[in-house]
Amino acid sequence: MIFAANFKMHHTRASTTEYLDQLDKLLAEAEYPFKTIVFPPATALQPSREWITVGAQNAYPEERGAFTGEIGLDQLKEFGLDTVLIGHSERRNILGEEQEFLAKKFAFYAGHGFQIVYCVGEPLEVREAGDEAVAEYLWEQFDGIDLDYERLVVAYEPIWAIGTGRAAKVEEIAATHAELRRRIARPILYGGSVKPTNIKEIASVKDVDGVLVGGASLEVESFFSLMVAIAPPQV
């Protein structure tokens, strides 16, 4: 099971450091078999901890260069990082990143051996059009993406469930993950309003290999409680 935390534009460098210190300690004590990834904002990037992989929420597909406001491979390598999030709906829809550009990012960071958490997700009108429409929409978001890449982790995040408090129903998650599983052998995470109250039922869905969490990951106690809900630490 993978637990990934997406801080988005929350937390500072100081609060991220404090968060990672606290979480790493809790994870060391609990000795969970889970894999934990934290994506802080770019200003708070720092080396991974013993029990936590730190990843970048975004990175430009170049080593360095004239790309104002971006960070690239050189900046990530300085911290020894090799995990990146690509295709989050906020980058697709708010920052206007198109599929061709996402595929370029994917190919670049895959070419450098990165672990890539690659996000896909449909808007509400597509969900309302039914499973077939959802499948068609999602597969288009894999255009140009190597589904056999060995360090690929997919995150299915229905846009209408992100930050809304309304997670997808277990049947919707099960059907969508089963569809993705037809062609994806790598881990598939679910994301969208995962919280301590629904983690258990979401984690029990077949083909859910982990979760990508926004709001409920911002406090250490809340993020850790997702893991505790699945496996209370042995005392």
Catalytic residues: 88, 157
Among 154, 162, 168, 180, binds ligand PEP (CB under 6 A): 162
Shortest approach of ligand PEP to residue 77 CB, angstroms?
25
Shortest approach of ligand PEP to residue 34 CB, angstroms?
17
| Number of residues counted as binding ligand PEP (CB under 6 A) | 13
Residues paired with 56 in a beta bridge: 84
> Segment near ligand PEP (CB under 6 A), from 74-82, 94-102, 146-154, 155-163?
155-163
59 lies in the site for ligand PEP, by CB under 6 A = no
Phi/psi of residue 86, nearest 5 degrees:
-135, 140
- Return the H-helix or E-strand segment holding 223: helix 220-230
> Segment near ligand PEP (CB under 6 A), from 100-108, 129-137, 175-183, 186-194?
186-194
> Segment near ligand PEP (CB under 6 A), from 24-32, 131-139, 201-209, 213-221?
213-221
203 lies in the site for ligand PEP, by CB under 6 A = no
Shortest approach of ligand PEP to residue 28 CB, angstroms?
25
Please identify, using beta-carbon distances, which residue of 22 and 222 lies nearer to ligand PEP.
Answer: 222
Long-range contacts of the stretch 207-210 (C-beta < 8 A, 24+):
207/174, 207/177, 207/178, 207/180, 207/181, 208/173, 208/177, 209/1, 209/2, 210/1, 210/2, 210/3, 210/4, 210/34, 210/35, 210/153
Please identify, using beta-carbon distances, which residue of 157 and 207 lies nearer to ligand PEP.
Answer: 157
- Among 219, 225, 224, 229, which residue's Cα sits nearest to residue 19? 219
Among 193, 207, 210, 223, binds ligand PEP (CB under 6 A): 193
Residues numbered 6-45 forming contacts with ligand PEP, rule: CB under 6 A: 6
212 lies in the site for ligand PEP, by CB under 6 A = yes
Shortest approach of ligand PEP to residue 157 CB, angstroms?
5
Please identify, using beta-carbon distances, which residue of 61 and 192 lies nearer to ligand PEP.
Answer: 192
Please tell me the distance from the alpha carbon of residue 208 to that of residue 189, in angstroms, as a whole number: 6
- Among 120, 141, 89, which residue's Cα sits nearest to residue 188? 120
Beta-sheet pairing, 53-54 with 83-86: unpaired
Binding site for ligand PEP (CB under 6 A): 6, 157, 162-163, 191-194, 212-216
